[in-house]
Chain A
Amino acid sequence: MLGRLWDTDGFWAFRHSPAAILAAVVAILIFGGALLAPWIAQSNPYDLATFTLMDGLLPPVWEDGADPRFLLGTDDQGRDMVSAILYGARLSLLIGLMAMLIATVLGVGLGLAAGYYGGRLDAIVMRIADVQLALPAILTALLIDGIARGILPTSAHENLRVVVLTIAIALSLWVNFARTARASTFVERNKEYVQAAIIMGQHPLRVMFWHILPNILGPLLVIMTVDLASAILLEATLSFLGIGLPADSPSLGTLIRIGMQFLLSGEWWILWVPTLFLIALVVSINILGDFLRDAFNPRLR
């Protein structure tokens, strides 16, 4: 089974694409590091007891005056940068993945139904998508956060920030999935295997999910990858704008916002360590997304 997978065209292309392999390695390292952060990070950046102000503003080990305990230096609070970015990535990835999954379920469900039934349902879903398009992702996310602030009492909003942020991002990304799923469903619906299933009298849900869905997974997988990158970027952007996560539970975006205060001072690592880490993560996901896009486009082979 594995041998057969190894021999497929897609995997052959993967083995012969250094960029894709490198991206996969980087992505796996970052995902692994984020997942295992509580066990491999030397301190917990959320726990004030694990670091002291005494260790503040130490540079990375290759600079003068560094402390070998802190590989990439510390911030003004004395937090270890390595631990901070691992925990930050953990939070960023958690929100990104959850948002992407919610958007997938919502978008694919609506897109499948719209493409399958056509007519009025399709018109309604697509008009909603039109309106959503007039209000781009970041605006939608900001708006939902604004609404949550207006509705929820301040303390509740603070506690629910991760949830609000995840939902805000998910709701701003579903259109991509819905449009792609709808377009692909339209094509599949007129194919003869689907017509055969309909003629036989199979249940519409079965036709949609058992027959059509497996055949449109290719383009959806590409969007899932690309939108995971978008979700992570969106979270970072919102946190940077101060709308997302607060400083005491820093995601990568929050770390960058904190680092901005040191833009003009000598402590460059506080800004650039999380920034480069975020870029490495998103670049590797996007390279994999690009690779999948080419692999799923038969005409490019």
Chain B
Amino acid sequence: MVYFILKRLVQSVFVMLAVALLAFSLFRFVGDPVSQMTGVETSVQDRERLREELGLNDPFVLQFGRFAGDMLRGDFGFSYRTRQPVGEMITDRIPATLELGTVALLISLLVGIPAGVYTALRPRGFMTQTILLTTLIGVSIPTFVIGIMLMFLFGVHLGWLPIFGRSGTVEIGSWTSSLFTLEGWRALILPALTLGVYQLTLTMRLVRAEMMEVLRSDYIRFATARGIPYRRLHFRHALANTMIPVITIIGLQFGGVIAFSIVTESVFQWPGMGLLFLDSIRFVDIPVMGVYLVVIAFFFVLVNLLVDMLYIAIDPRLRVKEAA
């Protein structure tokens, strides 16, 4: 078990290092940092001095080491576009994106898992066929179109909810939250729904497929032959075994949620990291792009480590040593 966790930790560190390397290469090789920082009037000597000061003439490994070290200390450099520290720019935006992503993920799990179980238990029912067709259409509609549709229906046509922006936020320390006011929730619900619908369809189809696989397994057949009550059979035996592959994928999905929040934030003008990233791409603001990547990868790695812990809690084969 300890080995399992350590192995995962090492893998996580590797992923983080690789992403940091990517971010650094972006910074170092896409465009020239010096010409980004200086104006046309700067002389060649000044540029060369700046280059030396910034350590850009040092060996690659040394530069990367310095870059990684700076990151670890929370020094993320400055934006080419706004000249602000990138760290601040990102941390300002993190709460908006995280709240959006978490609520969306919750929607997808709270609806997707029961729906997946239902459709697996009644594979030929009318409701199942309806749900399956709906989800098939669900995965086929791009997120931005879902956003537009929801915005059109609830914002424009019915006029029930605001159509863009974040409002009703409350400051808790340095965290700006929209979860504590009705106003905040009203603004959050459409973007979260937009982001959640796609993940929901994925979760549901995955749970259904895994559950149907488990229901065909020998131990379920054996438990059926022992007359274990169906309720217990389905939820204690089948669902628990279904969750093992499902939680792995949900961990991976978290990355998808964060990524698609770029689209959702763009549609609803939600002031999160995604919107910042989109702007940084338009203006080739390399430091922001790089740090965004590192932050996303960090969240991803963190969530997947948590998933691994959950894995150990569910699966005794990882906890208890096998007998000879």
Contact = CB atoms under 8 A, between A and B. Distances in A.
Is A–B contact present in the complex under a CB 8 A cutoff?
yes
A256 B19 CA distance: 33
- Most central of A136, A143, A278, A282 by chain B CB within 10 Å: A136
Nearest to B151: A263
Interface string B202-243: 000000000000001000000000000000000000000000
A23 B216 CA distance: 30
A133 interface: yes
B278 A150 contact: no
Nearest to B262: A138
A241 B145 CA distance: 12
Chain B: interface residue count, which band? 35 or more
Contact of B11 (A130, A139, A149, A287): A130
Nearest to B256: A136
Nearest to A128: B18
Interface of chain B, main secondary structure: helix
Given A130-B11, A134-B19, A279 B145 contact: yes
Interface in B136-194: 136-137, 139-145, 148, 151-152, 156
Interface string A154-191: 00000000000000000000000000000000000000
B284 A143 contact: no
B284 A237 contact: no
Q: Among A133, A146, A260, A286, which residue has the most Cβ atoms of chain B within 10 A?
A: A146
Contacts of B197: none
A299 B142 contact: no
A151 interface: yes
Interface in B6-46: 11, 14-15, 18-19, 22, 26, 30-31
Nearest to A238: B263
Nearest to B280: A146
A137 B137 contact: no
Interface in B268-324: 277-278, 280-282, 284, 286, 289, 293, 296-297, 300-301
Interface residues of A, number: 43
A239 B173 CA distance: 38
B263 A133 contact: no
Nearest to A141: B259
Contact of A139 (B15, B145, B252, B296): B296
Given A146-B289, A282-B140, A256 B260 contact: no
Nearest to A283: B140
B31 A150 contact: yes
A241 B278 contact: yes
B30 A135 contact: no
B263 A241 contact: yes
A285 to B, nearest CB: 8
A149 B156 CA distance: 36
A138 B259 contact: yes
Interface in A217-240: 229, 233, 236-237, 240
Given A135-B293, A135-B296, A290-B136, A149 B252 contact: no
Contact of A131 (B19, B141, B278): B19
A229 B140 contact: yes
A251 interface: no
B255 A133 contact: yes
A136 B143 CA distance: 15
B29 to A, nearest CB: 8
Looking at chain A's contact residues, is the secondary structure mostly helix, strand, loop, or mixed? helix
A290 to B, nearest CB: 6
A299 B216 contact: yes
A147 interface: yes
Contact of B281 (A142, A256, A283): A142
A260 B289 contact: no
B79 interface: no
Interface in A82-141: 127, 130-131, 133-139
Contacts of B11: 127, 130
B120 to A, nearest CB: 12
A229 B138 CA distance: 13
B140 A279 contact: yes
Given A131-B19, A264-B156, A237 B259 contact: no
A147 B26 contact: yes
Contacts of B152: 263
22 contacts: A19-B133, A133-B255, A134-B19, A134-B296, A134-B300, A135-B297, A136-B258, A137-B259, A138-B263, A139-B259, A139-B293, A143-B281, A146-B284, A146-B289, A150-B26, A237-B142, A243-B281, A282-B141, A282-B142, A283-B136, A286-B136, A299-B216
Smallest CB-CB A-B distances: 7 pairs:
A150-B30, A136-B259, A282-B140, A283-B140, A146-B281, A134-B300, A139-B259
Interface of A: 19, 127, 130-131, 133-139, 142-143, 145-147, 149-151, 229, 233, 236-237, 240-243, 253, 256, 260, 263-264, 271, 275, 278-279, 282-283, 285-287, 290, 299
Interface of B: 11, 14-15, 18-19, 22, 26, 30-31, 133, 136-137, 139-145, 148, 151-152, 156, 216, 252, 255-256, 258-260, 262-263, 266, 277-278, 280-282, 284, 286, 289, 293, 296-297, 300-301
Given A130-B11, A146-B281, A279-B141, 12 more contacts: A130-B14, A131-B297, A133-B300, A134-B297, A142-B262, A150-B26, A229-B140, A237-B142, A263-B151, A263-B156, A275-B145, A278-B142
